[in-house]
Chain A
């Protein structure tokens, strides 16, 4: 391993500019003469729009123009689509009405965009927008907010053609076999689970800048996107904004996404469209309140889950019924999240012979819900790991022993819910985690806490996820509207420096470092001679972007493939110079050598020779040194591991302190352990946030009660302990680098670990996320009452 090669803890090269204020985010980009957009949004959760009187804007200072739903219709701009087809049990396609860019006669959640006002300054645009809101006549309708109640016959209906507000009722697995397993069971564990709704809260709010070149007829949109090419495709193919060759999407530095910046939203499309309509650039940056109201939220499941065991604690079957809240409209990937990204992981790390899952996806008058760090897999892990823990407790079996008894031990393993796990060693990660947390000493620590009047608990989460999303054929067969390969292009300059163009997109992951490490390692070149180019549809030909922990496993595999081609061609060049067959050329540490001789030439010279082309003719080969590759994986990757949380409750206040956290993850090959640890730390923080702090709350009228940081509780450093992060390694067999992916693991694993620890401390299961101090205090009162009764 070199200092900058694969496996080296290289400090992130991009951080220098991020922490010194020299990054280039969308809001940093300015175009001469730009106007500012203010979106007039629905103050109501559910209302018909009777009229919009734009004449109030006449004479107002600095108003460039206004666009409403009528203009959207007049220009035939399509609605935002749902990109993943799901079928109901009876074979009917899902009911997925498009989300109009600007409301068409009706609004369906607070924050739903109705009109855009463009002003000379943002303040003028906002003044005008507020005036326009006052000139809109609404016919307020009763709101449907609760995901369970929304399917009732008398619930307010969001769409005329979506009966019972239900998008689909979908199933996966074998119902008959599962029912038989439950009939044969000697013990059944049942849990009712709420997986709380979360607001993503990227540090950088969404932003867009639309620019129109009247000479070429090209629209350029700077946008906070995790996948600018997909954004361009959607805007072009579905929204009819402009054909792809007349549309350029640039996602420069992006300050966090967590999934929320995968989707195409109204605002960036409208900025591009308004730029063309008004013949001047149009800029928009979300205010934080807008982020809370309109960024796609995450999670929001209500689940009944059951686990069937024989008398030895061997799992026989798993049955799940989930209601998934899609919000007011189906967002781009929203329909895949509670289905193929969720139910396919319900086998967890366990050999479960029969699984049956039913998922009802419903509409409510709330913000759209879509993928959020983990997307379906945290919900699945939570169901499985809570069930397993409670089953062990109910059967009087140590939870670790129970897990070991049921772990999958032979690979590959075909689960009853589509996934074929390729490799893993679940026993190894559990044992290592138990050692590091000193599981044997827990009883002593619990008694010491009890002496201080505190309740101590320990909880496991043995998670699995399907990452590296994913084989295009597989996702296509499951309903995806796109393939999920990745592309890369490696350009070697005549001086030997290297530019890598990737379809992955970094919005905090550190690609400029890890991808450069791969290149440095393979080409034997200093890491500072490598630059990573991403996020611009005019530079990178195509790409599928970054989400689902796919940039390493899929994006880097594409780069690896392109590097293979580059090395092969460079060997040919070297062969001409060294007058040897390219088959005899060895490439090592940046030098090309004729095997068995001391004849050699370095990388820089070969690069130059490739471009000057003096040593070979047109019949020999093409000049230049540039290669591209598309990589489509053959399987998902399956990162897995064990997190253990140990905590202590002050029953007097409900305040809970996480005393210890051990994370043992199997991510396959690790390119940069420093960055991987950072991903795990951040993921745990988000998972603990979900478990103990965060929860989006709407009131009965559909107003978001948690629309600012005054009420929405984000995890802070002092909410968390120092983590013990370590690994086991089983390299992934389905990609050339052995990478599984690490971006979501922490957020997937941790909620169940926290809740298992809390319920262990409390001695009962009657508690839901977010387990805030108040919630824990109430649960602890029950513990105390129970203890008094015994």
Chain B
């Protein structure tokens, strides 16, 4: 780790000011990606702005038919929240399957979304559930938020404050683990709402999380595993690495989607 200056503001406004003023700043939420990266000297922010002392950023509430999850809500809190479990059990289950207990006790939903790791779980949920990402400045629909791996619509001094998630009729997430890292090699989140079916895929795309429209179309007529029989995903634009070729990932997307629909 290289030397850096550490800031611990107690309001979002102060954090935003620091982000705007300080040289080469970085927000610290749960730190589960940032800190290991810094330890390996792969990231070297000059200023670290810690959000842990900002009050009220970790609330989880149900308002009408929408879940409001504070940006600093830890994975373990989302996983164990009765509110989330009742409203969107698939989301609670997803949070309970991120990383390991250490990661879940520290990692946050806001940090995960802002980082937009191409193999992270939360982006798939946000995209499939048509979530809205709320920042200190504006509201960003998930469809506009994710802009390629490790890239989002966030401006430099913009801070996620919460995520608004409308409750779907049915939803489920199926993750095929990378055997080594246990990140998603392929993760598929399916959500059925009255108006539409959304299928979001993480882990597989070269540009990060994406919607599998071919699967959505097939599920629109009937939301059932059988609807996906014979539907194949193109392997173009999918990742290929030592763990999985693009064709294997393409195949797994339909398998995981079928299983998710069955579980929803």
Which A residues lie at the B interface, using CB under 8 A?
A: 123, 126, 130, 289, 652-654, 693, 697, 705-706, 709-714, 772-774, 777-778
Which residues of B lie under 8 Å from residue A697 when comparing CB positions?
Answer: 242
CB<8 Å pairs between A and B, sample of 19: A123-B3, A126-B41, A130-B41, A652-B255, A653-B176, A653-B255, A654-B248, A693-B180, A709-B181, A710-B180, A710-B181, A710-B183, A711-B180, A711-B181, A711-B242, A772-B243, A773-B176, A774-B244, A774-B245
Tell me if B252 counts as interface (CB < 8 A to partner A): yes
Which residues of A lie under 8 Å from residue B243 when comparing CB positions?
Answer: 711, 772, 774
- A773 contacts B179, CB within 8 Å? yes
A600→B227 CA distance, assembly (Å)? 89
A709→B1 CA distance, assembly (Å)? 19
Closest 6 CB pairs of A and B: A713-B180, A710-B181, A713-B179, A774-B248, A774-B244, A711-B180
Question: What's the minimum C-beta distance from A185 to chain B, rounded to whole angstroms?
Answer: 39
Which residues of B lie under 8 Å from residue A714 when comparing CB positions?
Answer: 180
Identify the closest chain A residue to B182 (Cβ): A716
Identify the closest chain B residue to A772 (Cβ): B179
A774→B3 CA distance, assembly (Å)? 42
A126→B3 CA distance, assembly (Å)? 12
Question: What's the minimum C-beta distance from A199 to chain B, rounded to whole angstroms?
Answer: 12
- B242 contacts A706, CB within 8 Å? yes
Most buried by A among B3, B245, B252: B252
| Contacts between the two chains (Cβ within 8 Å), count | 40
- B252 contacts A653, CB within 8 Å? yes
Which residues of A lie under 8 Å from residue B248 when comparing CB positions?
Answer: 654, 774, 777-778
Which B residues lie at the A interface, using CB under 8 A?
A: 1, 3, 40-41, 176, 179-181, 183, 242-245, 248, 251-252, 255
A772→B177 CA distance, assembly (Å)? 12
Identify the closest chain B residue to A692 (Cβ): B179
Identify the closest chain A residue to B119 (Cβ): A710
A713→B242 CA distance, assembly (Å)? 11
Which residues of B lie under 8 Å from residue A713 when comparing CB positions?
Answer: 179-180
Question: What's the minimum C-beta distance from A718 to chain B, rounded to whole angstroms?
Answer: 10
Identify the closest chain B residue to A287 (Cβ): B40
Question: What's the minimum C-beta distance from A229 to chain B, rounded to whole angstroms?
Answer: 36
A710→B243 CA distance, assembly (Å)? 11
Question: What's the minimum C-beta distance from A496 to chain B, rounded to whole angstroms?
Answer: 48
Question: What's the minimum C-beta distance from A650 to chain B, rounded to whole angstroms?
Answer: 9
A705→B176 CA distance, assembly (Å)? 21
Question: What's the minimum C-beta distance from B121 to chain A, rounded to whole angstroms?
Answer: 16
Q: Beyond the given A653-B252, A697-B242, could you list 18 further A-B residue pairs with CB under 8 A, ordered by the A residue number?
A: A123-B1, A652-B255, A653-B255, A693-B179, A705-B242, A709-B180, A710-B183, A711-B180, A711-B181, A711-B243, A713-B179, A713-B180, A772-B179, A772-B243, A773-B179, A774-B243, A774-B248, A778-B248
Most buried by A among B183, B242, B243: B242
A123→B44 CA distance, assembly (Å)? 14
A733→B210 CA distance, assembly (Å)? 67
A653→B255 CA distance, assembly (Å)? 8
Which residues of A lie under 8 Å from residue B181 when comparing CB positions?
Answer: 709-711
A693→B243 CA distance, assembly (Å)? 10
A274→B251 CA distance, assembly (Å)? 56
A20→B155 CA distance, assembly (Å)? 47
Which residues of B lie under 8 Å from residue A712 when comparing CB positions?
Answer: 180
Identify the closest chain B residue to A289 (Cβ): B40
Question: What's the minimum C-beta distance from B211 to chain A, rounded to whole angstroms?
Answer: 22
Which residues of B lie under 8 Å from residue A711 when comparing CB positions?
Answer: 180-181, 242-243
Which residues of A lie under 8 Å from residue B1 when comparing CB positions?
Answer: 123
Which residues of B lie under 8 Å from residue A774 when comparing CB positions?
Answer: 243-245, 248
Which residues of A lie under 8 Å from residue B251 when comparing CB positions?
Answer: 777
Question: What's the minimum C-beta distance from B226 to chain A, rounded to whole angstroms?
Answer: 15
A611→B252 CA distance, assembly (Å)? 75
Which residues of B lie under 8 Å from residue A778 when comparing CB positions?
Answer: 248
Identify the closest chain A residue to B248 (Cβ): A774
Most buried by A among B1, B245, B251: B251
Identify the closest chain A residue to B186 (Cβ): A653
Which residues of B lie under 8 Å from residue A709 when comparing CB positions?
Answer: 180-181
A697→B242 CA distance, assembly (Å)? 8
Which residues of A lie under 8 Å from residue B3 when comparing CB positions?
Answer: 123
Identify the closest chain A residue to B176 (Cβ): A653
A697→B244 CA distance, assembly (Å)? 14
Which residues of A lie under 8 Å from residue B242 when comparing CB positions?
Answer: 697, 705-706, 711
Identify the closest chain B residue to A653 (Cβ): B255
A289→B40 CA distance, assembly (Å)? 9
A773→B186 CA distance, assembly (Å)? 13
A712→B251 CA distance, assembly (Å)? 23
A713→B243 CA distance, assembly (Å)? 10
A709→B178 CA distance, assembly (Å)? 11
Which residues of A lie under 8 Å from residue B179 when comparing CB positions?
Answer: 693, 713, 772-773
Question: What's the minimum C-beta distance from B28 to chain A, rounded to whole angstroms?
Answer: 20
A773→B185 CA distance, assembly (Å)? 11
A773→B179 CA distance, assembly (Å)? 8
A774→B186 CA distance, assembly (Å)? 12
A126→B248 CA distance, assembly (Å)? 41
A123→B39 CA distance, assembly (Å)? 11
A706→B251 CA distance, assembly (Å)? 24
A713→B180 CA distance, assembly (Å)? 4
Question: What's the minimum C-beta distance from B98 to chain A, rounded to whole angstroms?
Answer: 15
A701→B243 CA distance, assembly (Å)? 19
Identify the closest chain A residue to B252 (Cβ): A653
Which residues of A lie under 8 Å from residue B41 when comparing CB positions?
Answer: 126, 130
Question: What's the minimum C-beta distance from A60 to chain B, rounded to whole angstroms?
Answer: 14
A706→B1 CA distance, assembly (Å)? 22
Question: What's the minimum C-beta distance from A620 to chain B, rounded to whole angstroms?
Answer: 66
A666→B243 CA distance, assembly (Å)? 38
Most buried by A among B40, B41, B180, B252: B180
Which residues of A lie under 8 Å from residue B244 when comparing CB positions?
Answer: 774
Which residues of B lie under 8 Å from residue A777 when comparing CB positions?
Answer: 248, 251
Which residues of B lie under 8 Å from residue A289 when comparing CB positions?
Answer: 40
Which residues of B lie under 8 Å from residue A130 when comparing CB positions?
Answer: 41
Which residues of A lie under 8 Å from residue B252 when comparing CB positions?
Answer: 653
Most buried by B among A705, A711, A713, A774: A774
Identify the closest chain B residue to A710 (Cβ): B181
A774→B247 CA distance, assembly (Å)? 10
A289→B41 CA distance, assembly (Å)? 12
Question: What's the minimum C-beta distance from A610 to chain B, rounded to whole angstroms?
Answer: 55
Which residues of B lie under 8 Å from residue A710 when comparing CB positions?
Answer: 180-181, 183
Identify the closest chain A residue to B245 (Cβ): A774
A712→B241 CA distance, assembly (Å)? 13
A773→B245 CA distance, assembly (Å)? 11
Question: What's the minimum C-beta distance from B142 to chain A, rounded to whole angstroms?
Answer: 26
A655→B243 CA distance, assembly (Å)? 13
Most buried by A among B1, B245, B248: B248
Identify the closest chain B residue to A706 (Cβ): B242
Identify the closest chain B residue to A288 (Cβ): B40
Identify the closest chain A residue to B254 (Cβ): A652
A130→B1 CA distance, assembly (Å)? 13
A326→B16 CA distance, assembly (Å)? 55
A714→B179 CA distance, assembly (Å)? 9
Question: What's the minimum C-beta distance from B179 to chain A, rounded to whole angstroms?
Answer: 5
Question: What's the minimum C-beta distance from A286 to chain B, rounded to whole angstroms?
Answer: 14
